[in-house]
Structure 1
Amino acid sequence: MTTPGPDTIEMLRAHDRKARLGLLRRNTSDWVIFLAGVALIIWGVVAGAGAMRYNWQWYRVPRYFYREIDGEIIWGPLIKGLIVTLQITLWGAVLAFGIGLAVALLRLSRSYAGHALATVYLELIRNTPLLVQMYLFYFVLSPILGIERFWTGVLCLAVFEASFISEIIRGGILSVPRDQWEAASSLGLRSRVVYGKVVLPQAVPLMLPPLTSSMVNLTKSSAIVSTIAIFDLTNEGRTVIADTFMTFEIWLTVAGIYLCLTITLSAIAGWLERRSRRAQR
C-alpha cells in the first residue's frame, strides 16, 4: 500500500476544513432562521396583547401547578389535567398499537373477509372527522357498551390512530426483503414464528420514525376528549381561564406543556431507533 505524499495529505486537510466550515455555516444559518422565527412569534403575541391592552399576570400561573399549604404540596389543576392526558395517551397508544397490528395482519392475510373488513374500517375511520367519531362513540357506542367517558375517549382515539398505525406496520412488514421470508419458510417455521423472530425485528427500526409521529399526533389529538367533559390538560386550562381570564398566559403554558411532551416522545423514539439499529449490526 502506497503512502500518500505531502501534497495529497494537505489537499485532504484542506477539503476537511472546507467541509467543516460549510457545516458550521449551515448550522449557523439554521439557528438564525429558528431564532428569527421564535422572535417573530413572540413579537406577534406581545403586539397583539398590547393592542388589546392585555394585562399580563404570569406571576399567578405557578399556583395552578402546585401550592404549598402547611408544608403539604397541593397539586393544581394543570398538573391534574396533565396526569389525565398522560393516562389517555398511554392507554390510547397501547390499544392503538394492538388494533393497528391486527388490522395490518388482516390486510396482509389471504382471507378475503378479513381483508375486506380491514379495508372498510380504514376507509370509514380515515375519511371521517375525529370530532364526529368522538360524538358517535360517546352518544351511541358508550351507552350500548356501558363504558365510562374516560374509556370512551381512549377507545375513540385508539381506533382513530390505529387506522394510521396499521398502514405503518403493513409498510414496515412489506419492506422486509422477500428472500428473508423464503429462507424462514424453507426452515419450516410457522407464520407466527416468522413474524415474531424474522420479520418484525427487521421491520421495527423502519417503523419507529412514523410510529413516533403517530404517538405525537395521539398526544395532541387527546385534547379533543375535553368535548365530552373529560378533565384533561386542555379542559383544565379552559376552566382556569374561565375563573381568572388569564387567556394568554394559560393557553401559552398549556401549549408549552404539550410541546415538552411531544419533544420528549421524539427523543425517546430516536434513542430506541439508534439502539435497535446498533443491535442489528
Structure 2
Amino acid sequence: MGEMKKFFGLLFVLLMLLATTGHQNVHAATDDSLARIQKKGTLVMGNSPNYPPYEFQVNQNGKSEIVGMDISIGKQISKDLGVKLVVKKMSFDSMLVALETGKVDMILSGFSPTAARKKHVDFTDSYYVSKQYIIINKTDKGLYKNKNSFSGKKVGAVVGTIPYDLVKEQMPGAKLVGMENAADLVLALKAHKIDGLVKDSASALAYASSDPGLTTINGKFEVSGDEAGNAIALPKGSTSLTLAINQSIKNIQQKDLINKQYLPEAGKLMNTNTANTSMWHYWSYFAKGVGYTVGISLVAVIIGVLLGAGLALIRIGHTKVWHALATAYVEFIRGTPLMVQVMFIYFGIGMFYDISAVVAGTLAVGLNSAAYVSEVFRSGIESVPVGQKEAARSLGLSTKQTMQSVIFPQAIVTIWPALGNEFISLIKETSIVSIIGVADLIYQLRIVQADTYKGVLPIVVAMVLYFILTFGLSRVLQHFEHKFNHAN
C-alpha cells in the first residue's frame, strides 16, 4: 500500500506540474506573438467544419476540402501576415483547450467572445454579427412567433455556444436539450424530439434553405455587447498578433468581403453539396473513416497485448514494488474515462512534445486496452491448476519453461474468447478519438451529416460498416478458438 500511495502522490505532482506549465504557457505569449508566427511561417487555425456556411466540407471529384466564410477569412488573414494557413480539424468543445495548450494559434470557427471565454483567451474585434434564429418544422410555423412561444417546449442548442446560454437565460419556460453536434439537433427536430433549434441567423437560414421541411423565425433574443458577434480567439497576451489580425478584419469589413464574396461563395459550395447527397457520392469519406478506424485499432491492439501481457506477468510475480505500480496503473486506467485519457495525452503531453492527434488517439486507446487485457491474461493464467505448475517444476523445468510449455498453452484456451471480445470492443471504442479531430468513421459521419443535411442515412451507413468490421473479426477469432480447443 505504501508503494501505491507513493505512485499516486507522484502522479498528482505530475498533473499539477502539467497544469502549472500550461498556465505559464498561456501567459508566455507577449508582444513577440506576431513575430513568432511569421518566423514559423504558418498560422494554425482551430476549426470544427460542421457549421455551414461558416465552415463545412465539400466533396469534389472524390476529394474533401474545408470551405466556408471562416476559411475565407482565415486565408485573407494569413495572406496579410505573409504566412501559410493550416486548418486543424477538431470537435468544437476541444478547441479552447487546444488554443491554451498551443495546439493551434487561433480559433476561427463561429466563436463568440463571451465573458467566460475572455478569462482564458484574448479576442479580436468581431468580424461578423448575426441575429439568433430558431429553426422549426415548417408544419409548426403558425405555432411559434419568437422565443416566448416555447414555454413547456423542448428547445435544442449546441453545447458551449451562445445559443445554448441564451436558451438557459432567456427561455426559462423551455426545456433545454444540449448536444455537441448541430446535425444531431436537426435530426432530433425533424423527428419531433425537440420543438425548436436555436442557431445564428446565417447558419439557421442555411439549414432551412437546404431542407424543405424546415423554416426559421427570428427569436428576438437580447444579446448585448461583443457577444452578439463572432470573433477570433488568440492566446492570452498575444497583443501584437491581435492588432495585426484586427487590421485584416478592418480591411475585410471596409471592402464588405463577407457579404459580397465570402457568404455568396459559401452558398454556392453548399448547393454543390446538396446537388448530390447520395451516400455513394461520399464513399471516399466513409472509406477514409474505415481506414483510420482499422489502423488505429490494429496498432492499439498490439500496444494493448504487449503491455497487457507484461502487466499481467508483473502482477502475478513476487516483486512488491513492481506489483504495486502495475496494480496502480490498471486501477487508475480502469477508473478514468477513455475520453479524458485521450484529451490528457493529446493536450497534456502535447505541452511538452508536439504529438499528432492520430498518434495521441492511438496511444490512448492502446494504453487503455492494456489495463483490461492485463486482467484477461492474469485471470487466464491463474485459472490453470496449481498442480500443473508443481508437476512441471518437479520435472526440472525452470519458471520460464513452465510458463511457456505448460501454463500458457492451457491458459490461452481461457484467455482467447475474452481477448476476442476486447478486440471487438476496441474497434467501437476508437470512435472516441474523433473529439481531437482524428478522421475516424464517426468523424466522417458527422461531416457527411453536415454536408448533406441528412441525419439518419449516414448513421445507417456507419452502423453497417461497424457491423461488417466487428462481425468479420468475430468470425476470424472463432476460427482460431476452434483450433485451440481441438489442439487441447
TM-score bucket (shorter structure): 0.7 to 0.9
In the alignment, structure 1 residue 158 sits paired with structure 2 residue 376: no
Aligned-partner Cα distance in 1 for 2:371–2:466: 23
* Alignment counterpart, residue 64 of structure 1, candidates 264, 276, 282: 282
1:169 partner amino acid: F
Q: Does structure 1 residue 245 correspond to structure 2 residue 469?
A: no
1:99 to 307, 319, 333: 307
Kept after mapping to 2: 8 A contact 1:134/1:153:
yes
How does the TM-score come out when normalised to structure 1?
0.74
CA contact (8 A) 1:237 1:250 kept: yes
Cα pair 1:226 1:235 within 8 Å, conserved: yes
1:217-236 equivalent positions in 2, closer than 5 A: 217-236=425-444
Instruction: Give 1:187 shift.
Output: 2.6
**Cα offset for 1:193?**
2.1
Q: Deviations over 1:55-93 (max 9, x none)?
A: 9x998111222xxxxxxxxxx110011011100000000
Q: Which residue pairs with 1:189 in the alignment?
A: 397
After superposition, where does 1:32-47 map in structure 2 within 5 Å?
none
Which residue number corresponds to residue 474 of structure 2?
Answer: 266
Q: Determine if contact 1:58/1:249 at 8 Å carries over to the other structure.
A: no
3-state SS in 1 of match to 2:352: helix
Alpha-carbon contact 1:142-1:149 (below 8 Å) kept: no
Question: Of the candidates 284, 296, 319, which is equivalent to residue 111 of structure 1?
Answer: 319
What's the CA shift string for 1:94-139, capped at 9, x where partnerless? 1001111011111101000111001111111111111111111111
Q: 2:383 aligns with which of 175, 184, 187?
A: 175
Is there any run of 5+ residues in structure 1 with no aligned partner, and where? 1-47, 66-75
What's the counterpart of residue 44 of structure 1?
none
Say whether residues 1:210 and 2:428 are aligned partners. Answer: no
Q: Higher helix share goes to which structure?
A: 1
TM-score (norm 2): 0.43
1:96–1:162 contact (8 Å) kept in structure 2: yes
List per-residue Cα deviations over 1:233-261 (Å, max 9, x = no partner).
11111111111111100011111111221
**Structure 1 or 2: larger strand share?**
2
Within 2, Cα distance between the matches of 1:190 and 1:54?
74
Q: Which residue of 1 aligns with 2:328?
A: 120
Structure 2: gaps of 5 or more residues = 1-188, 194-211, 215-274
Give the superposition deviation at 1:143.
Answer: 4.0
Whole-angstrom CA distance in 2 between matches of 1:61 and 1:54? 20
Are the equivalent residues in 1 in contact too, given 2:346–2:355 (CA < 8 A)? no
Q: CA deviation at 1:188?
A: 2.4
1:87 paired to 2:305: no
Q: Is the 8 A contact 2:304 2:367 kept in 1?
A: yes
Percent pairwise identity: 32
Distance 1:62 1:173, change over 3 A: same
* Conserved 8 A contact 2:346-2:356: no
Instruction: Give the whole-Å Cα distance in 2 for the aligned partners of 1:235 and 1:210.
Output: 29
Instruction: State the distance in 1 between where 2:190 and 2:276 align.
Output: 13
Instruction: Tell me the residue number matched to 1:279.
Output: 487
Q: Aligned pairs, how many?
A: 224
For 2:394 and 2:470, the matched residues in 1 are separated by: 43
| CA distance in structure 2 between the aligned counterparts of 1:147 and 1:49, rounded to whole angstroms | 40
In 1, Cα distance between equivalents of 2:350 and 2:277: 42
